[in-house]
Amino acid sequence: MARKRDILIAGLVLLVLWEIAAILLDTMALPEPWAVAADLAVKVVSGSLIDDIAISGMRALLGLFFAVITAVPLGLLIGSEPPLRKTLSPFIYLLYPIPHVVLLPLVIILFGIGNTSKIFLISLIVFFQILVTARDAAKNVHQNYLYSMQTLDASHFQVYVHVILPATLPKILTAMRISIGTAVAILFFVESFATTRGLGYIIMDSWGQADYVALYTGISAMAILGFSLYLMLDRLERRICRWQNIH
């Protein structure tokens, strides 16, 4: 309850600061928050913004989903198996620092301008963030835990399920939480051209028309989308990592 109150207070402080800045600057480029809130409410009630929110949300969620189901198993394997780590770590070392967002033109050439290219690029960028975290977390699991399972004649699969995955899960979820911000940022980038739907398109279209209230409405909707995804993951973490909430 206290946490919700703190978040609400922080949100109100940000709105007050926004209002003060809008009054002091007195420019069309920074409308007052109540005007943006009214425009957002009207567009949500009328349904004109719902489809774009749903499309953007679908792209972000699918991008995160495909990144997680590929990066987590591979990261755990690389981190737990020294021969595999020795073989694949150099490739990760070379590929991870590459700014993968510059691959968008190639991705569009390969997959077209539809949802596939957008989801693929989000997955690709988030994939490496989660992969590196999962690998390092698995590598740092204490050997005593593994020895304990081996003395119980546990199979390789059981060691992963009952030791490695639970031990690394908090760090993996932290990486996923960080990746939400990355996914939403990339979502804006991929929706800013070669598309006519999504919040990124609305933001860029409003900017081109100098409709600053609509511009901030799109930005606010994208911020709400990112915050909603963050809250979903935060609730998931508290549910499946309950031992972390014991004080």
Averaged pLDDT score across all residues of the chain: 87
For residue 127, the model assigns a pLDDT of 94
Pairwise CA distance, residues 198 & 174, whole Å: 27
105 DSSP assignment: H
User: Would the pLDDT of 231 be above 60?
Assistant: yes
The predicted-structure confidence for 94-107, as pLDDT tens digits, reads as follows: 888 888 888 888 88
For residue 5, the model assigns a pLDDT of 80
In this prediction, residues 232-238 reach a mean pLDDT of: 84
pTM score of the predicted model: 0.85
81 φ/ψ sector (left φ>0, alpha ψ -120 to 50, else beta): beta
Q: Which of 31-45, 60-74, 102-116 is least confident?
A: 102-116
User: Would the pLDDT of 143 be above 60?
Assistant: yes
In 3D space, the residue among 231, 125, 117 whose CA is nearest the CA of residue 185 turns out to be 125
For residue 243, the model assigns a pLDDT of 62
For residue 119, the model assigns a pLDDT of 93
The sign of the torsion formed by the CA atoms of 163, 164, 168, 170 equals: negative
What share of the chain in percent tops pLDDT 70? 96
Instruction: Tell the residue number behind the tokens 């860029």, with chain if given.
Output: 204
The predicted-structure confidence for 72-119, as pLDDT tens digits, reads as follows: 999 999 988 888 888 998 898 888 888 888 888 888 888 888 889 899
The predicted-structure confidence for 165-179, as pLDDT tens digits, reads as follows: 888 998 999 899 889
User: Would the pLDDT of 133 be above 70?
Assistant: yes
User: Would the pLDDT of 247 be above 50?
Assistant: no
For residue 232, the model assigns a pLDDT of 87
CA distances from 90 to 69, 84, 87, 175 (A): 22, 11, 7, 21
